[in-house]
Amino acid sequence: MIIVSGCANQLPPPGGPEDTKGPVVLEVSPLPNTTSFHGNKIIIRFDEDVDKRSVQESILITPDTDTKPEFEWDGNEVTFTYPGNLLPDRTYTIVVGTGVKDRIAGNHMDMPFQFAFSTGEKLDKSSVSGTIYAPTLNKIKIFAYLTEYKSENFNPDGLKPDFIAIPGSDGNYNLSNIPGGDYRVISVIDENNNFIFNENLDKVSVSFKKTFVNEDSSIAGVDFNFFEVEDELNSVSYLKTLFPVGTTGLYINIKNSAENLPVGIIFNSYIKNKKLPFDQLRSDLKLFLNGETVESKLVFNPVSDSVIQIFPVQKFEPGQKGKLTFITKETADTINFSVIERDNAGVVEGSVTNKTEFQHRVVIRLMPTTEGLFTITENPEYSGRFRFDLVPEGKYRLFSFIDVDGNGRFNKGSYFPFELSEPFFFYHEILNIRERWEIENVFIRF
């Protein structure tokens, strides 16, 4: 027998399946739903070695304490101690966020882990829950402010929230074990991770539901949206996506030889540096269809003094080929395009199941996740039935909202002065549209 002694780096054995699972919380102290807790130490044990810094940055206690805890480690177990005792007769919630990752593979927790205990004889059991819709859930948090001791229209900028929740990887969150009361709830992309909303730095979303919670009751469906569901036509980021029309100073949202355009396409146009007079654009920009020499009439809808929406008086027909020509004394530029043919299109149909419950118009949009496609909008019939008949092949996210203010655009609401957003709905999966395929039974319910 040969004995080899010495120091060596411990490495995982070669081969075997790749570690793709994140850490899991195995045990906590105090136990969930404990009452009359009088200590100041919280213990959490994980199923594997975790990155200590990620844990210390991802553990949250609400309501917040004025002192930071001290962390002590024993293998996979962390104890954090709060100087002095916690406040009496208070329900506390501990949240272990998805920022926690294992030490070797760097896999993050799939879902936040949370538990509650009380320093009094009673445990608060009210809750607010919902879903956050966003391109990424990174840095997103839920901030809840009890309005009882605040002015009616307070500004949350710079205010420490009374309660905080962190969404899971599926976007769902649960603001649990809170006392009953009237809450102002917002969702924030907390850029510097300081758990305080900064209006000059953080993006914010407002829900469409009021959040007055009765004692020991729950409110579900308090949803938030961070997707851009409207083209902000005057924004610099949008204008940068447009294509130049020669050297005229005119920019437009389709490039030359564009194919499979939807029949309802609107040409969003921008006059750079305002060097092209609007009257000249209206007189010199012409639309010709299918090789005809007689121009088709256009509608010019100014959005601002440099942004114009342009579209034909008559909606395009499937398979039409067209060209936009811009002819002046100095230049002649043309953009050719073709409208989608029926054989190249897919169909989406379904219904708004509770359409008759409200009087306002419903707007439904297919928003492409595939680059180069355009958003398509429809309105359901009074019965709630809807049909997208000519959809270019690609992947789409279905979004719908109740147009309460009647302007055809989604109202995101406002955190200050506070205004609820218009009610909205996201379909639960991405729709994969294929040529000559029909997707049926897409149900929307507000």
Q: Are 35 and 117 in contact (CB under 8 A)?
A: yes
Average pLDDT, the chain: 92
Q: Report d(CA 167, CA 50) in Å as an integer.
A: 20
Q: Report d(CA 230, CA 251) in Å as an integer.
A: 19
List, by residue range, all CATH 2.60.40.1120 domains of the chain.
342-444
Residue 9: pLDDT band (50, 70, 90) is: very low
List, by residue range, all CATH 2.60.40.1220 domains of the chain.
25-225
3-state class (DSSP) for residue 282? helix
* Highest CATH level, class, for 342-444: mainly beta
Beta-carbon contacts of 149 under 8 Å, excluding residues fewer than 6 positions away, are none
Q: Are 82 and 65 in contact (CB under 8 A)?
A: yes
Q: Which two tokens stand for residue 9?
A: 């780096």
**Between 248 and 118, residue with greater pLDDT:** 118
* Highest CATH level, class, for 25-225: mainly beta
Question: 342 vs 52, 269, 368, 389, CA distance in Å?
Answer: 58, 27, 19, 9
Q: Are 76 and 49 in contact (CB under 8 A)?
A: yes
Q: Name the CA dihedral angle for 423, 426, 427, 432, rounded to a multiple of 10 degrees.
A: 140
258-269: pLDDT as tens digits: 999 999 999 999
Q: What is the mean pLDDT of residues 201-226?
A: 97
* Highest CATH level, class, for 236-339: mainly beta
- Whether pLDDT at 3 is above 70: no
Residue 5: pLDDT band (50, 70, 90) is: very low
- Whether pLDDT at 316 is above 50: yes
List, by residue range, all CATH 2.60.40.3710 domains of the chain.
236-339
